[in-house]
Amino acid sequence: MAVATGERNAVRSAPRAAFFYRPEVRQAIYQVVTVVALAILFYILVTNTADNLRRQNIASGFEFVDRTAGFDVSQSLIAFDNSMTYGRAFFVGLLNTLLVAGLGIVLATILGFVIGIARLSRNWLVARLATVYVETIRNLPLLLQLFFWYFAVLKSLPVPRQSHVLPGGGFLNVRGLYLPSPVPEPGFDVVALAIAIGVAVSIAIHFFARRRQMQTGQRLPVLWISLALIVLVPLGVFLYLGQPLGFDYPELKGFNFQGGMVLQPEFIALLLGLSIYTASFIAEIVRAGIQGVSKGQKEAALAIGLSSGQVLRLVVIPQAMRIIIPPLTSQFLNLTKNSSLGVAIAYPDLVSVWAGTVLNQTGQAVEVILVTMGVYLTLSLLTSGFMNWFNKHMALVER
């Protein structure tokens, strides 16, 4: 009898597993173990580090940023010399990183789109050349390409006396690329104002044209109107005012050039390397994006009488962009992170100035490395945040 009741009870209430076999208990135990293990690891690391720092007589903390740096930096967007502080050196490095990353992103995107579209060209030769470019460049380490541009190409250029003369008053030699620098003269601010007004009016026209298209179905040639407003009108003003812009040309004086502006070979090599390398990845993304637009879309667009240019501009590219943007974002992030390789060719970026020179002079390894990582993390989060916002803007709006 007792057995039978027991069986009936077992059927009524599900058999209870032993305490330690219950999933929720197990999960709690695993998590507690994880937390404790991490805490112990963290404690050991911190005490060891504190111990080691005391042994080496290094005071932790960020007091060192106010001390005089005592070194010079070869390229700087803000005024910097060796009497300034480590803190300012940090910003010099950060700005140099942002400069090369920003320009690199622009160049890599343009080159990548050109090559990606070329890979899909109906012209057999053009498609082949683009394939060779992509397969060669993306299978070579970026660092090797940087070395190639810097040591094998730019560092074997002639000395300033035998510079390559470029059209328009530029010179290329082992010390870098010397270009004429523009010098605004009185009246140039009017031209700048004309450009600013042109941009503002173009944006207004863009919104007006969109509303008009929604209401009447007619399109305005926004691109041409904007070009006229931003380029032609300011150009007219510029000519009317008697060309209020001079150029400071570089001139050979003694052993080096004076005047104009100079792009350091380190900068050129890093910019070239980053753009060419990243372009090969962007090209593949662009190709996949365009191929991802279904063929029916193109055929339908042709069938309703759009020209082939309009099909590309109004139907294919907007849809391809939705596929392209997410991986494109990660390429932009990669380019920014890869700009840290500039340290290997002595480009004064964040890693070279801050995690290199400053770290070696002060010995504040923990603070310096943590700040460096923090900067790159912040850049990553900012870029991906912006691109997510942009992506949401571009995403398919279902009506």
Partner 1 sequence: MVAETAIAPPVERPPRSAVGPVAWMRDNLFSTWGNTLLTLIGLFIAYQAVAGIVSWGILSATFTGADGSACTREGAGACWPFITAKFAQFMYGRYPGPERWRVDLVYGLALAGLVPLMIPRVPGKFWNAVYVFAVFPVAAYFLLVGGAFGMSHVGTELWGGLLVTLVVATVGITGSFPLGILLALGRRSKMPVVRWVSVGFIELVRGVPLITVLFMASVMLPLFLPPGMTFDKLLRALIGVALFSAAYMAEVVRGGLQAIPRGQFEAAEALGLSYPKRMAFIVLPQALKVVIPGIIGTFIGLFKDTSLVLIIGLFDLLGIVQLNNADQKWFSPTTAMTGYVFAGFIFWAFCFFMSRYSQMIERRLAQGERK
Site residues (vs partner 1, CB under 8 A): 27, 30-31, 34-35, 38, 45, 48-49, 51-53, 55, 121-126, 129, 135-136, 138-144, 147-148, 151-152, 155-156, 337-338, 340-341, 343-344, 351, 355, 359, 365-366, 369, 372-373, 376-377, 380-381
From residue 239, how far is each of 31, 194, 228, 236, 334 by CA, in Å? Answer: 73, 13, 15, 5, 43
What is the rounded CA–CA span in Å between residue 371 and residue 61?
12
Which two three-digit tokens encode residue 35? Answer: 């937390």
> Is residue 77 within 8 Å of 92, Cβ to Cβ?
yes
- State the nearest-atom distance from the C-beta of 19 to partner 1, in Å: 17
Cβ closer to partner 1: 140 or 300?
A: 140
- State the nearest-atom distance from the C-beta of 358 to partner 1, in Å: 12
Cβ closer to partner 1: 38 or 245?
A: 38
Cβ closer to partner 1: 77 or 373?
A: 373
Which two three-digit tokens encode residue 14? Answer: 């599900």
- State the nearest-atom distance from the C-beta of 76 to partner 1, in Å: 21
- State the nearest-atom distance from the C-beta of 158 to partner 1, in Å: 11
Residues in Cβ contact with 165 at an 8 Å cutoff, skipping those fewer than 6 apart: 171
Cβ closer to partner 1: 107 or 130?
A: 130
Q: State which amino acid sits at residue 355.
A: A
* DSSP secondary structure of 26-65: HHHHHHHHHHHHHHHHHHHHHHHHHHHHHHTT---SSGGG
- State the nearest-atom distance from the C-beta of 273 to partner 1, in Å: 12
Beta-ladder partners of 166: 170
Cβ closer to partner 1: 256 or 380?
A: 380
- State the nearest-atom distance from the C-beta of 130 to partner 1, in Å: 9
Cβ closer to partner 1: 235 or 366?
A: 366
**Burial profile 105-127: b = 16 or more Cβ within 10 angstroms, e = fewer:** bebbbebbbebbbbbeeeeeeee
Cβ closer to partner 1: 99 or 343?
A: 343
Which residue is listed with tokens 């480009």?
A: 347
Please tell me whether residue 115 adopts helix, strand or coil conformation.
Answer: helix
What is the rounded CA–CA span in Å between residue 230 and residue 199?
6
- State the nearest-atom distance from the C-beta of 287 to partner 1, in Å: 15
- State the nearest-atom distance from the C-beta of 227 to partner 1, in Å: 22
Cβ closer to partner 1: 47 or 74?
A: 47
Q: Angle at the Cα of 324 (from 321 to 327), degrees rounded to 5? A: 150
